Structure 1
Amino acid sequence: MTPTAPALQLEHVSKDFRFGSLFSRAVHHAVVDVNLHLERCHVLGVVGESGSGKSTLGRIAVGLIPPTSGTVTVAGERLDNLDAGALRRKRRQMQMIFQDSSSSLNPRMTLQDLLMEPFRVQGLLTEPDRRRRASELADEVQLAQAFLPRMPHEFSGGQRQRISIARALALDPGLIVADEPVSALDVSVQAAILNLLKDIQEARDLSMLFISHDMAVIEFMSDDVAVIYQGRIVEHAACQEVFAKPRNDYTKLLLTSTPSL
């Protein structure tokens, strides 16, 4: 890790998906020549409509899928230069919060086990220390200690997303990619989760790539904004600048169609 390096840097990143039969092949260009730069302790919002490539970009950023071309650098280390063991260790530094908490939580595990699992997978801490950290993580995301023996189906959607956030924080990562973390929640719950994320980001000095289709959410969470359209970044600037003086027509369209938060 290089202390002065950006939290995340994408250089000329593209991702193609090929599909079809042996005799009829087609290519979908999901991400096209993207350059992004995320400073440490900042939040970079990536905004675009469904199918724009923003979720694919998030998965590339944390090494879940490889780019077709281009490079991804996290805290000074290029992911494509790491062998399997080094990449596994690197994953402690970068975590992802998914949109659908239901599909990302094992339905057969209690809250305590879910929060202890990251330490078990990485072979970290003794069992008593894992239980202690599980309790601390539950506190951090404002889940009562009495909830630790409960199963995922016993929680509301907002509570399950808090569990996902706690799991992402367990290994003390420097980089979090939050992929539409509130879009599946009721409007009444969204503000509470956004406030929680903002408080945690500031308290932990996290670097965050925050992905959303909602410009109001992006404005609330972000220091800088990248607007993605058909896989390409069409505007990238400070949040205040994008919202006060948008330059791209697509950005203007997104702004006019979004109510205030």
Structure 2
Amino acid sequence: MDLVLDLDGVGKDFSAGPFFARRRTAAVTEVSLRVHAGRTVGLVGESGSGKSTLGRMAVGLLTPDRGRVTVHGQPLSSLTPKKMRPFRRTMQMVFQDSSNSLNPRMTLEDLLVEPFRAQDLHTRAERRHRAAALADEVGLARSGLARLPHEFSGGQRQRISIARALALEPDLLVADEPVSALDVSVQAQILNLFKDIQQARGFAMLFVSHDMAVVEFISDQVAVMRAGSLVEFGSRDEIFDSPREPYTRTLLDAAPSL
């Protein structure tokens, strides 16, 4: 399998406290992780464990203070802003809150066409055709292409976010708590959508979640984070059937089944 994402000793610090007594706090501490094409690594941990920060570094939205992020063999730190722009087609992100990540003044069609405009791809007619095809792929009716985000349900808005992330055919998708704000029945639909589209397209996925049941369902491999550090990594069966770390066992004991 092709290696898509390689995190090598990645670390990130943030400043905290009042201006006159600010201190640096490590949000992520020297994490190494790999994600291969067609595979999903579930990144799980408590709130504040650093998993979302790690996900943002994986797609270049945050710059690590230590270590190196490599996508398809290309270190992100070596890319100038000019070179990063076209390279962003390789990696995309789905955020937790679709209400805030979608422009409320743009129709569904505009939202799905925007990635092509940003990268100056295709003719106007071809962009509209591709937008309609993306809506089909994620289970949204073409009759809704003229509707605004607030006219869709929460699950439908997350489908829009997924379609927009897939527009440029990325090799890496980072999903940051994409189902945590949805009802359980809708969660299952969105998780199945992720699995079906990944099987069809073959992209690598880093799936960030605090929900062990969701991670068990979606993942091929599981990485467990605690206080900014990676404390356990293994196949889904290894983590859920015979975890080595007491912290992982604590997460499993507290998790309901999906």
**TM over 0.5, shorter chain:** yes
Contact 1:5 1:76 in 2 (8 A): no
Q: 1:114 aligns with which of 103, 111, 122?
A: 111
Aligned to 1:19: 16
Aligned to 2:159: 162
Contact 1:98 1:179 in 2 (8 A): yes
Q: 2:123 aligns with which of 106, 111, 126?
A: 126
Matched, 1:226 2:223: yes
Matched, 1:215 2:226: no
Contact 1:46 1:225 in 2 (8 A): yes
Deviation at 1:5, TM superposition (A): 5.1
SS in 2 for 1:242: helix
The runs of at least 4 aligned residues of structure 1 exceeding 3 Å deviation read: none
Matched, 1:78 2:72: no
Higher mean Cα deviation, 100-109 or 81-90? 81-90
Q: 1:180 aligns with which of 177, 181, 188?
A: 177
Aligned to 2:40: 43
**How high is the TM-score relative to the length of structure 1?**
0.97
Aligned to 1:64: 61
**Identical positions, percent:** 61
SS in 1 for 2:20: coil
Deviation at 1:23, TM superposition (A): 2.1
Aligned residues: 258
Matched, 1:91 2:99: no
Contact 1:48 1:229 in 2 (8 A): yes
SS in 2 for 1:182: coil
- Counterpart Cα distance in 2 of 1:5 and 1:143: 31
SS in 1 for 2:29: strand
SS in 1 for 2:15: strand
Deviation at 1:188, TM superposition (A): 1.9
Deviation at 1:203, TM superposition (A): 0.8
Any unmatched runs of 5+ in structure 2? none
- Counterpart Cα distance in 1 of 2:197 and 2:29: 32
Any unmatched runs of 5+ in structure 1? none
- Counterpart Cα distance in 1 of 2:135 and 2:111: 11
**How high is the TM-score relative to the length of structure 2?**
0.98
SS in 1 for 2:249: helix
